[in-house]
Amino acid sequence: MGPAVRNITSGPSMEILPEAKLEQANKLLGGLVLSDESVRKIREIFIDEINTGLDIHSEKKSCLQMANTYVPQLPDGSEEGEYLALDLGGTNFRVILLELNNGRQTKEIVKFYHIPDSLRLGTGVDLFDYLAECLHQFLEEHERLQDKFTVGFTFSFPMYQRSLSCGILVAWTKSFNCSGTVGEDAVQLLNNAIKKRGDLNLEVTAILNDTTGTLVQGAYLDKSTGIGLILGTGSNACYIEKADKVLSWEGERPADVSEVIIDLESGAFGDNGVLDFIKTEFDIQVDNNSLLVNSFTFEKYIAGKYLGELVRVILVRLHEEKLLFTGELPPKLLTKNTFTTRYVSFIEEDSINNKTENTKAILEEMEVDFDLEDVAVVKHVCFLATNRAAKLVSICLAYLLERMDRDNLVTIAVDGSLFQFHPRLRSLMETYIHSYAPKRKFALMMAEDGSGKGAVMVTAIASKLKQKK
């Protein structure tokens, strides 16, 4: 990315448009611009949903799960040994063998196993038996079949944790829908499949999602880490909460536990309608075009799976109002999910560098007839979608910084392709977080592979806790 030619928070100019056309476009797109009053209101709602979610006695139900992960500490450099980490969340199942020496991650072996449709949509028994078979293949291939390992399981589906080693599946998402599993403990299901084989010396001792793993992996890289954020295809956040504010403990909370990681499941923020006041006609259409309608409301405002589709919907609407592109729209632009978030990143790169090459190439690929006015409008739409996403996620992060109330710098560990590859998003977030929490010192840090290496670190922490008991 080259040097920016204007303030990073200002979008590309649309002054090239005739005044009447510019006024009409701004009126149609005005709902994408969050006013200061809207920002304050979103913050207040977020605070209320957090407090409601933590209060197990509340009669009102929060859209934030506020799940206790039962991870009571972060890596301190004393972690030792070899651990297996399993990562299940998509069409590939990943097995990782990682060695820790004096808390440092050293030798690493990784292998991916494809999960076919028949298993993702079949019975839970078949799925977990297959995962155990993959583990057998992995250990046999590396001549470690006779060795004993403790295992960390990254299970990136909605779950309710009763302990660090118990995760009750709430619902399958993505492309999974296995029977006989909802309401069951995923750790127990996997341990049962392992024991049924009789040829594996393994025990799953920790379960987590990729967001928790990102925070823990971030803490391994930087001890000031206190917040974990996924900002990729999907989105979620977690943070370190004072234990006395967390009422959702199975059994009695250990006396020596002062803090614990809380998983917000923030992608669902707004599922109960509390954010409907910022919902535009474009957001409604994106939601209707999605697989899970009326779910993951916040995620649909900010995540990579939806940002490109939001832009596509807006472009089609602008064409209907005769504000963009001449002639008939090609089937490509009229087909959902054809305009990717990757395109948005490339177009934003043009805006930052005051260029048009990427935008023109993408519009040619979409097979539309366009002129320079159209290029300006498309660039502006991509900025509006990006800027709103950056504001929304920053409102939440800024409040988490305030809530943690730390005098020293707090590092926010982030994983995800959107954060990693979008040329403007990080700078926008840094600007807005500072604006919304001006007295808090923070840093954004890329912490890749929380679902793998982070799971190993959580497993090592679980082993230390077990030894301590």
Residues involved in catalysis: 174, 210
Helix axes 455-468, 210-221, angle to 10 degrees: 80
Give the whole-angstrom CA distance, residue 348 versus residue 378: 10
Q: Please, which residues have CB within 8 angstroms of residue 283's CB and are 6 or more apart in sequence?
A: 300, 301, 310
Compute the distance between CA of residue 334 and CA of residue 127 in angstroms, rounded to an integer: 37
And the tokens for 121?
């949509």
Pairing label, strands 81-88, 92-101: antiparallel
In the block, residue with structure tokens 């609407």: 317
Question: What SS3 class is residue 5?
Answer: coil
Note the Cα 173 to chain centre separation in Å: 14
Residues 438-448 as b/e (b if ≥16 CB within 10 A, e otherwise) read eebebebeebb
CA-nearest of 75, 76, 397, 62 to 248 is 62
Q: Which residues contact 254 (CB under 8 A, 6 or more apart)?
A: 72
List, edge to edge, every strand of the sheet that includes 442-446: 67-68, 259-263, 235-242, 225-231, 410-415, 442-446
Do 97 and 142 form a contact (C-beta atoms < 8 A)? yes
d(CA 326, CA 338): 20
Looking at 114-177, list the stretches that DSSP marks H as alpha helix, in order from N- to C-terminal side. Answer: 117-120, 124-141
Among residues 54, 180, 65, 184, the alpha carbon closest in space to that of 121 is found at: 180
User: What is the distance between the alpha carbons of residues 215 and 237, in angstroms, rounded to a whole number?
Assistant: 9
Helices (H) and strands (E) in the chain, counts: 16, 13
**Got the DSSP string for 46-64?**
HHHHHHHHH-TT-SSPPSS
State whether residue 240 is helix, strand or coil.
Answer: strand
